[in-house]
Structure formats: C-alpha cells, structure tokens
A and B are shown apart, each in its own frame.
Chain A
Amino acid sequence: MKLFDELANIVKRRGDTALHVVAFVGAFVALVAPFALVTYPQMVDLPMHAAQTSALRHLSDPSYAFDQQFELHPLGYPYMSSYALGAVLMSFMSAIAATKIANVVLLAFVPAGLATLAWGMRRSPLIALAAVPFAFSGMALWGTVSSLSAIGMMAMALGLTLRALERPSPRLFVATGAVLALTFFTQVFRAPIAIASVAIAWAFSDKRRETVRPLLLACLPTVALLVAFLALRPAGLRPDIGPITLRTDRLSLVFDTVVSELMSKPERAAARRHVAVVVAIGFATFGIAWARRATQPASSFERRAHWTLVCTIALCCLGYLFLPDRLGIYFGAAAREATSVTYLAIALIPNLPRELSLRAAAVAAMLWSALSITDLAILRFVPFDTRLEAFTSISEQIPKAPKLCYLVYDEEYAMTLVPAYVQAEKGGFLSYHFASIGASPFAYRTDEAAVVPPPAPGAERFQWRPELFDLAEQGPFFDWFLVVSNVDRSLIFVADPTIRLVDHRGDFWLYTRTTKP
C-alpha cells in the first residue's frame, strides 16, 4: 500500500514531465522513421532539391561544373534554408543523406511550430502531436517541404510574438525576428503572411505602445528582405494575378486538397481517422473548458491570443478562397493555404485538461494515430526505395560532371525527377532543372562563357512530357541519356548513331554518346 502511495506521488510530481518526454520521443520516431529506413524517400521534388543543395555546396568546385552553368540569386528566389543546411551537412556525409536530414529538420518545424504557438497562447504544447501527420501530407509527398516548414515557422513566430507582447523581453523579440527571417529564406510567400499575423497579434495586444518599437525592429530585417526580393525576383515570380474571384467550391475540397491525389486509400482512411481523433480531443477539451468557465475563466490574454489566431486563420482562409491555383511558376498557391488553415486550426483547441490521466489519454490517442500514418508512409517509401536500387547501380556507371539528358516515362509521379540525384552526387548538367523555369535560387548564367543546357521544350511541363524531347534540337548538348520506362524506348535515339545503350536495369536505360557529334 505504502509502495503504491509512493508510486502515485511520483507519478503526480513527475507525470507531466514524463508525458512530455514520451510525446517528444513519439513525435521524433513518427517523423524520422520513414526517412531513416530508406535511401530515397518518395517525394516528387526531393531529387531536384538534392541537386540544388549539391550545387550550393560545390558551386566553387570546378570538378562539378556548377560554376559553368549557375549563378546564385539568394534574394531573387530565397528558397535557401534547406539548401544551406544540406550544404553544411554535405561536408561530412553523402548528398542524398544530407538532403534527407535537412528536410527532416525542416519538417520538424511543423510540430515544433505548433508547440511554440500553443506555448505562446499559454496552452499545453502537447497538442502539437496532432500536427505530426502533416509531415506526410500532400505537400510533403509533392516534396514542397520548405513550404510546409514555413507554415510551421509562421506558427512559431506567432507564438513567440504572443509571449513577447505579454511579457516583453529582448530575447523573445530577437527570436521572433530570427524566425521571420528564417521564414523568408524558407518560403518567401509565407513571410508576408507571418508578418501579418505578428501585426494582428500586436493589434490585439494591451501593450501596444511599449511593444511597437521592439516589434518593428524584429520585423524590419524581414521587411527589408521582402523589399529586396520584390526588386530582384525573376520574371516567373511577377505574374499577372488576373481577376480575383471567390471560389466557394473549394470549401468542400479542403480535406482532399490537404491529403492530395497522391495518397492511397489506406492513407486517406488513416488521415480521416486522425481527423476524428483530433476532433474528439478538441471537442472534449472544449466541453471541459466550457463547463469549468465559472471556476477557471479564460484570462484576457487568452481571449486576445484566441482572437489573434482566429484572424490569422481567417487570413489564410481568404488566401484559399481567393488566390488563383498558380501565381506564375508558384504552383498550388491556394491549395497550400488549405494546409495552413487546417494546421493552425489545431491550435484553436482549448488547453488540455489538468488531469494527468486525460492528458495521457490524449497523448496516447494522438501518438497512436500519428504512428499509424508513419507506418503507412514507411509502406509507401520502402517499395519506392527498392525500385530505385536499379537506379543506384546504373548511375554508378555515369562519370563525374556528366551532361545528362533524362526522360521519364513512368506513371509514378515520384519518379519524374529521380535522375536529378545524379547531379546531386556527381554534378554536371541536366536536361531539365528548376533553374530553367526560374523556380530556383540558381539561375542559368547568361554570359558568353557560360555552358548551359538547351532550354527544355514545354518549359515547366517538360518533366511531365518527355515526348516533347527533340533529339535533333536538344540532343547534341548531352553525352549521357537516362530513360525511365518499362518498355524499350531506344527508337528515340535511332536518328543519332553515336548514341548507344550502355546498360539496362529494371526500368532504367542508360545510353551514352560514343563520339562527340
């Protein structure tokens, strides 16, 4: 009995700490496990991000030939944070491993951002567990990890701001400024929304006068960066937005947009289950908070923080309902706001109840749901990784700094940019690169000394339209040709007898030019 009482006391004292540790470890495992188990995660744009990370790392190394083709414009297209982190990591690990870790670190901002927002609203950060599955949502599967991460950074900036406004401290304002700047260098289009949310928080604050100066100073660097971006951005990011119309038809598509067409039926079912878990926890918590409002009324700070969040969500919602599907080369402009709205909505859940048993039940439910989604992500990643074993062995035959033309005839979206891993590891030139459509901090050099691949036909659609490849027009530049197809496509090269088949493994066919044309 005495032992039982002692145990009960220990649980009472340390239980909450233990719960946070369990939540952190669980979130870590849920996030990292799929990436740790494979070499090539199944994310559509990830190979191109690996290539660009490698370009940043080896820009000054002539053996990679990046300096012959690229020039860096970090302010014109400030998609830099994952590349910078990956480039640092490439100092002591392979390009692909470094890219994976950099992306995992960025994805960690998803739950971390929500935890900071909850902390900023004086609520339990445990609710951030509900955000872990976003790391495997539609945006992640498309490989737009920076975009997803930037949403987490926006939440983090808002959380820090709320705390800074409640109890002004230089450290909190500096942290806010740093996160805003990081947001700018992660996904530039999220930065103005982050600043707007900070402004909304200030507008609701009861310490506006004393916090206006430090908050302005915190935002100033990011504002300056945005001004620089507006001046230096490439043509593809100066789109004619066109008429703005209200798209109420999108309201019924929120779930499908967040989940995306890339997800399988079991993954969609798991996503729905997760929504059910979060809904149950949210409404149960609301019920408890509502019933206890007489004895535990919400403070004025909590009310103001709540309305700040509501207005921020409303802003993102307006973006979802009004923005066009694309802004120049920026695809899915409206769709990304569906993710930001659903992500931020989690923070509307009132503070988890005091009782350790109820908190533990909520943590258990969210962890179970998150881990079941992780399990499905592993089931998605592993077969893809196995399929790329053939790619690994065939690309070993490609020399350093190749002039590589790649054509992907494959229905699996994630295969489309896989050959870009060759550039990530070995440098060289690619027939299709984000730099050719201006969707990169790297632009092709335009000076006379530049060595640049010919423009890809069909511009940004070329990656999806290999049939547009013209051997006579584009072919002469390239020495190596990598075709991904389940049938023999050698007929493509029949008009050029200098191109011969080197190897064929699985769905990968490697050709090389035996003599220069």
Chain B
Amino acid sequence: MSERAQRKLKPSLESLHRSFSRLSPGLLAITALFVAGGCIAIPFVAATFPKMVDLPMHAAQTAVLRYYFEGRPDIRAQFELHPLSNPYMSSYVLGALLMSVMPVLTAVRVATALMLCWVPGGVATLAWGMKRSPLIGLAAVPLVFCELASWGFINSLAAMGMLAAVIGLTLRLLDEPTKARCIALGLLLVLLFFTHIFRFPLALAGIFATTVVMTRDPRRWRPLLFPVAVALALLVVFMVFRPPSMQAEAPELKLHTERLPEILLDVAGREIDEKLAERLLDHAMLVLALASAAWGISHAKRREQSDDARSFARRSLVAVGASIALSAFAYLILPWRMGTWAYVYPREATMMTILALGMVPPLPREAWMRWVAVAALSVSSFRVVDRVALQYGAFDARLESFRIVAARIPPASKLCYLVFDREDPADIHVPAYVQAEKGGYLSFQFANFAHAPLHYRSDPEAVVPPIKPHLWEWNPEWFEVQRDGAFFDWFLIHSKRDPSDKLAADPTIVPVAHEGTWWLYVREGR
C-alpha cells in the first residue's frame, strides 16, 4: 500500500478504533447478556419435560395457583393459599402470570429459566457492587445446571443469586447511597422473602456482616434502615403466621470437617454424567486461569490505584469473604435434613461457589482482553449447556409414552400415581404434569409439605385426597388399593412389568391404556 494511501486510511482506522472503544463496553454487555440468556434457555427449548426431579410438582403448584384464582371448583375444593406463612411464591406467581399468554408447560419452563437467570445475574450484581466488571456473571452460567437444578430446587438456586445481588447492592448503597439503590434493595429483599424463606435470614446476616466490615460510622448505615426494616417486618410476620410444621426442632449441630473434600461433588452432583463433569472441570479451570491472569494484572497495577479505591477493594473482599465464611460454617454444621426440608447442608456448597465468583479480581480494562474473556467463557458455558440439553432431550424422548397415556386422562380427574422401576430420580413426580395441564386431584402433592404456599384445606367442606406419609412417593410398594385407592378414579402407574396385581383387589378398576412403561387404569361405574 502506498504511503499516500496509508496516510488517507489512518484517520479512518483511528476513528473506527475510537468508535469501537466507545461502543465496546455496551457491546460486551449485550453479548454477555445474550450468551447467558441463550445458554440458560437452550436446555429448556430442547425438551418439553426438563430433567428436574421436582419440576413437575412446581408445574402443578403453579397451575393450581392460576386455577385457584380462576375459581375452578376442583381446585378451590382442595386448596387454600398461605403466601405469608409459606412464602415460596415468586416462581409460581411468575408462571401463573405467563400462563395467560402461553400454554401451561411452556409457561413453567419460561418461569424456571427466568428464575435461574438470577444465578448469573446475582454474580454480576455482586461484582458491580464490588466495583468490578459484571461480565464475570458469565462464569456462573454453568452453575445454573448444577446438582440443585437437577433436583428442581429452582427457588433455592434463584434465592442464592438474589443473596449475592443483595450483598452487591448493600456494598454500593454504603459506598454511594441513592434513593434508587435503597428502594432496589428493599424490593430485592421482598422478592427473596417470597422466593426461599430459608435463604432470607442468611441474606440479612450478609447485610449485617457487609455493613460492619465496610463502615463503622453509624451515620452511613442510615440508607439501609428502610430495606432492612421492611425485611424484618416480613420476617416477623412469617414467624407469627408460620405453621407448626415449619417450626422445625433445633437440629443437633456438630462440626463435620470430613465434608470439606466433598464440596465440589455437592456442587456438581455425585451421580453426574462423566462428560458433563469433564466440561464443568474445564470451565472451572478456565475461570481459574482468567482469575489468576486478572489478579496478576491488578497486582502489578495496584500502585496506580488511589488509596480509597484500594481500601474499598480490600474491605469489599473481606465483606464477601465473611458471607462465604457464614455459608462455609453452615455447610460444616447443618444436618442433611431439617424436618421436611432435605439436602440442607449441601446447598451451601453452591452458595459458596456463587459468592466466590464475586471474588474474581477485576477484569483488565483493555477491551480486547475483555472480549477474549467473554468469548472463552461463552464457549465454555455453551459446552456445558450443550451436554445438559442432550440429557434433557433424552429424558424428554423417554417420556413420549407418558404423553400418549396421559392424553387419555380427562380434566379434573382424581388421579392416583405410582412410580416403580425408576430409571432416574426425575421420573418420580412426572405424573404431576397431569394436574398442571388438567387440574384435578393427585395422590401425592407438595401441598403435603409445610413450605408449600398452597395447602390442602382442613375444613369439613374440603374435598381433599387422603394425606400421605413422609416419603410416600419414593415407596410405591406401600400402596394398598383398598386402603389408599378408594378416593381415586384414575390410576397411572410407571412400571417395567404389568402392575395389574397392585389393583387386582378392586375389580372396579380396569386397564385403559398401556404405552412403554406407563399403564393407565380407570374405576368404572363412578
């Protein structure tokens, strides 16, 4: 190229470079949002029935909430709503609203995906609160499909993301109080209350720890008064109205240091698919590499920072570290089960991991480095969700026979279901999708549990299935047709071999359909 041409081109290139530098942060943010949202959506697009153990029950509860407000007689006859004593509401409300504009199962999947967006969203907010790049939220995308998600503990996961966001907002509120941040924190605490009540006090403890670390000046605590007051008020209301079944006995607390080597297993899952485990490890390695490089760069440039900036960075690290320590303490001392609440301590492993991502040092300011980081995290996240989507697709394909059989069940049916020969724990609540789409009654429902906002009515006019004992759904062999089957008209059984002998004692029950491992029976003459 001639010198003249080069001279002509130079200003254009420089102008292009300047424009790119100006637009780059926005483009990066949009790219990261698009990637995160896309990655979370992919597995839910790949399957009608995602492979999550409790999701069918959440679908049923979401639909029941909608039908309740629609005034459907079969639902009103069974349930009553307790949003304050059992505030496990946010995903159900979101799903119920979405049901206005889309089919039931689609609404449940969309609501679930939106709730799960709190995981990367919470990490991004935490990073923003620590005055670091929110782009690191991308690193949390694979966590969305960890062990907790496979069990369908959606609200628990979302609440963890919300807790991270609460700490981030608190940091910023203490540093630069504004009305918007104050209101945002208050709203977030309310949302957290209605998402997962057991995470709520930990969020308050996190606010307290953050405040104590960031400032000893009581005048700077004032912006927190309103949001904390709202939160405490809600907590008091809950403590007053909670049912006896939610007043779990204080558990026996013991230090379990032998759990420490198992932290990663509790995050990823002990029965995790080998290929998925490899991809998660690769992702962890990538995050480690990015964090190490970022640390090296910030360490070398630390003298360029002002004293205030260095002090804020140090204290915010300690504040987040305090929350991680709280989670670690809970991980080491809490039991596996507290009342009807299972998988208690392992959840803290995921909480620690989410918060630890907030401690990743600030990404370098250079645009090209941020683009490299975003590209690498995007590819790595995609590899993980691709594998998850494959698993969901395989599970979904297996349920084709369930779809065929369930289509024969009429709306508002009294359905008893038994799941023998589970190929996967996710089979256990699949029949609850029938109630989600068609209403009616189920032999086993989360309404049995203390934390469900929709309870079975206990007044004399209620029409309610017989209450089943704890772990009923995992023990179908407990079923005796004459004792347990009288209430029901329809019987849906998952079994590899013919289960007719389970119902033989009641001659009014006859087979209707059989597809694959799903068998449908009806009681004649009702």
Q: Which residues of A contact B (CB under 8 A)?
A: 272, 275-276, 279-292
Closest 5 CB pairs of A and B: A287-B296, A291-B300, A283-B292, A288-B296, A284-B292
Q: In the complex, which residues of chain B have a beta carbon less than 8 angstroms from the beta carbon of A279?
A: 285, 288-289, 292
Asked if B285 and A283 sit within 8 Å, CB to CB, the answer is no
Asked if B292 and A282 sit within 8 Å, CB to CB, the answer is yes
In this complex, which of B281, B291, B297 has the most chain A Cβ atoms within 10 angstroms of its Cβ? B297
Asked if A276 and B293 sit within 8 Å, CB to CB, the answer is no
Asked if B285 and A275 sit within 8 Å, CB to CB, the answer is yes
Asked if A291 and B281 sit within 8 Å, CB to CB, the answer is no
Asked if A272 and B297 sit within 8 Å, CB to CB, the answer is no
How many chain B residues touch A (CB < 8 A): the figure is: 17
Q: In the complex, which residues of chain A have a beta carbon less than 8 angstroms from the beta carbon of B284?
A: 276
**Smallest CB-CB separation from A288: which chain B residue?**
B296
Closest chain-A Cβ to B274's Cβ sits at a distance in Å of 11
Q: In the complex, which residues of chain B have a beta carbon less than 8 angstroms from the beta carbon of A283?
A: 288-290, 292-293, 296
In this complex, which of B292, B296, B297, B299 has the most chain A Cβ atoms within 10 angstroms of its Cβ? B296
Asked if A284 and B300 sit within 8 Å, CB to CB, the answer is no
Report if B371 contacts A (CB, 8 A). Answer: no
Q: Which of A272, A281, A287, A289 contacts B294 (CB 8 A)?
A: A287
**Smallest CB-CB separation from B301: which chain A residue?**
A291
Q: Which of B288, B289, B291, B297 contacts A290 (CB 8 A)?
A: B297
Report if B238 contacts A (CB, 8 A). Answer: no
Q: Which of B281, B285, B288, B295 contacts A287 (CB 8 A)?
A: B295
Known A275-B285, A279-B285, A284-B295: A292·B300 in contact at CB below 8 Å: yes
In this complex, which of B291, B293, B301 has the most chain A Cβ atoms within 10 angstroms of its Cβ? B293
**Smallest CB-CB separation from B296: which chain A residue?**
A287
Q: In the complex, which residues of chain A have a beta carbon less than 8 angstroms from the beta carbon of B300?
A: 287-288, 290-292
Asked if B297 and A291 sit within 8 Å, CB to CB, the answer is yes
Q: Which of B281, B285, B290, B296 contacts A285 (CB 8 A)?
A: B296
Asked if B296 and A290 sit within 8 Å, CB to CB, the answer is yes
Q: Which label, helix, strand, loop or mixed, suits the secondary structure of the A interface?
A: helix
Bound CA–CA A276/B291 (angstroms): 12
Q: Which of A275, A280, A288 contacts B297 (CB 8 A)?
A: A288
**Smallest CB-CB separation from A296: which chain B residue?**
B300
Q: In the complex, which residues of chain A have a beta carbon less than 8 angstroms from the beta carbon of B291?
A: 280
Known A282-B292, A283-B292: A288·B285 in contact at CB below 8 Å: no
Q: In the complex, which residues of chain A have a beta carbon less than 8 angstroms from the beta carbon of B288?
A: 276, 279-280, 283
Asked if A291 and B296 sit within 8 Å, CB to CB, the answer is yes
Q: Which of A276, A286, A290 contacts B285 (CB 8 A)?
A: A276
A–B complex contacts, Cβ < 8 Å, 28 sampled: A272-B281, A276-B284, A276-B285, A276-B288, A279-B285, A279-B292, A280-B288, A280-B289, A280-B291, A281-B292, A282-B289, A283-B288, A283-B293, A283-B296, A284-B293, A284-B295, A285-B296, A286-B293, A287-B292, A287-B293, A287-B294, A287-B297, A287-B298, A287-B300, A288-B296, A288-B299, A290-B300, A291-B297
Bound CA–CA A290/B288 (angstroms): 18
Known A279-B289, A280-B288: A286·B281 in contact at CB below 8 Å: no
Closest chain-A Cβ to B299's Cβ sits at a distance in Å of 6
Bound CA–CA A149/B288 (angstroms): 31
Bound CA–CA A291/B295 (angstroms): 11
Bound CA–CA A279/B284 (angstroms): 11
Bound CA–CA A284/B295 (angstroms): 6
List CB contacts (< 8 Å) of B254-300 with chain A: 281, 284-285, 288-300
Asked if A280 and B292 sit within 8 Å, CB to CB, the answer is yes
Bound CA–CA A275/B296 (angstroms): 18
Bound CA–CA A279/B292 (angstroms): 8
Q: In the complex, which residues of chain A have a beta carbon less than 8 angstroms from the beta carbon of B296?
A: 283-291
Q: In the complex, which residues of chain A have a beta carbon less than 8 angstroms from the beta carbon of B289?
A: 279-280, 282-283
Closest chain-A Cβ to B453's Cβ sits at a distance in Å of 42
Closest chain-B Cβ to A361's Cβ sits at a distance in Å of 11
| Further contacts, 7 of them, CB under 8 A, given A276-B285, A281-B292, A287-B295 | A282-B292, A283-B290, A283-B292, A287-B299, A287-B300, A288-B296, A288-B300
Q: In the complex, which residues of chain A have a beta carbon less than 8 angstroms from the beta carbon of B299?
A: 284, 287-288, 291
In this complex, which of B281, B290, B299 has the most chain A Cβ atoms within 10 angstroms of its Cβ? B299
Closest chain-A Cβ to B136's Cβ sits at a distance in Å of 15
List CB contacts (< 8 Å) of B311-330 with chain A: none
Q: In the complex, which residues of chain A have a beta carbon less than 8 angstroms from the beta carbon of B295?
A: 284, 287
Bound CA–CA A465/B106 (angstroms): 59
Closest chain-B Cβ to A465's Cβ sits at a distance in Å of 30
Q: In the complex, which residues of chain A have a beta carbon less than 8 angstroms from the beta carbon of B292?
A: 279-284, 287
Bound CA–CA A282/B288 (angstroms): 11
Q: In the complex, which residues of chain A have a beta carbon less than 8 angstroms from the beta carbon of B281?
A: 272
Q: In the complex, which residues of chain B have a beta carbon less than 8 angstroms from the beta carbon of A281?
A: 292
